[in-house]
Amino acid sequence: MTEPLRLLCLEGDGIGPEIVNATLAVVQAAGRVLNRKIQTEKMDIGFAALKAKGSTIPQSVIEAAESVDGVILGPVSHNEYPPVEQGGRNPSGVLRKELELFANHRPAKTWVGLDAPSRKSFDLIVMRENLEGFYADRNMFAGCGEFMPEPDVALAVRKVTRKASLDIARAGFELAASRPAKHVTVVHKANVMRMTDGLFLECTRSVAKEFPSVAYKEMLVDAAAAHLVRDPTRFDVLITTNMFGDILSDLASELAGGLGLAGSLNFGARHAVAQAQHGSAPDIAGRDVANPVSLVLSVEMLLRHLGETNAADLIRASVGVALESPETRTRDLQGTLGTSAFTEVLCKLVEEGAR
């Protein structure tokens, strides 16, 4: 008998519980086309875990995440957490580091029926290195990558390694090779960060030689931002370092219609975490108005990563159908539905597609 697909669900803060439950309902609706049954377990993170166990991400959660096939991570209010020494760790950053999730795969695409700020239809992906760069909570074995030698001076260390650069480059090229355009743009700032981005470029160029069918281009990050605004259709897969990828992926998603329509998958050699691109939106929590599409698409990516291609295709197609008409969209997209009603519509579309 085939082992079930084990998913750990971490609801998080704010609208997290609402959109996680909506997403799980959609996954269950796709049950007929799944190769394996889904087995889910819920554990607390964020403020609920801080109150109960003194930490926003207890060690038991990390251990559970290491033992399952995939993690569904709800949004968290980490900017509101107490200091780390008081238990206020960012669950997202902790999981990325502890599970060695070196890649953050962030698609940005326009949807039929929705107006986009880009005024052009496009479909691109930002492949962001996830474990180092300027991110002070991730780039040291122990301690923090930010420090103050005196009260009026703050310093930050940027870490770029050959291994991480090769890992994200290879992941990006493998993805580009599977897409129609077969085109990679490596985004950097090597004209001023000659050693760190110089090493990053050395690695991407070496990987490019392994993929002769994929077109290769390099672009400075400021130019990439400008060209994204002017004409996002010129890009297919962008490969870049942590902070640049964080910024450019948000820009691309907003140009496509907003973070609420953009999925996100963190993955490494052994683990994967689905995570919505947007935040926890505590101001609308519990009001049945949150749009779950970003997390639904993130879990669609997780299912695809785990080999459940049929279910992933069905969920993505059903989201596309739901977004076409105001009658089947949430109110933030000039629709008429709340979270629960939209989830029912999406589940029905998935179930119909699975017959």
- Token duo for residue 196: 């760190």
How far apart are the C-alpha atoms of 279 and 96, rounded to whole Å? 17
* Side chain identity, residue 206: S
Q: What's the DSSP call for residue 270? A: S
Count the Cβ atoms, other than its own, within 10 Å of residue 159.
17
Concerning whether 250 is annotated as a catalytic residue, the answer is: yes
Q: Are 154 and 145 in contact (CB under 8 A)?
A: no
Catalytic pick among 115, 120, 222, 231: 222
Contacts of residue 347, defined as CB under 8 A and 6 or more positions apart, other chains included, come to 25, 26, 28, 29
Catalytic pick among 13, 97, 109, 135: 135
* 303, containing H or E segment: helix 293-305
* 53, containing H or E segment: helix 46-53
Q: Torsion angle of alpha carbons 277, 278, 279, 282, nearest 10°?
A: -140
Catalytic pick among 189, 217, 313, 332: 189
Concerning whether 246 is annotated as a catalytic residue, the answer is: yes
Q: What's the DSSP call for residue 287? A: S
Catalytic pick among 250, 313, 332, 348: 250
Q: Are 146 and 158 in contact (CB under 8 A)?
A: no
- Token duo for residue 74: 């709800």
Concerning whether 123 is annotated as a catalytic residue, the answer is: no
Where in the sequence numbering do the catalytic residues fall?
Answer: 135, 189, 222, 246, 250
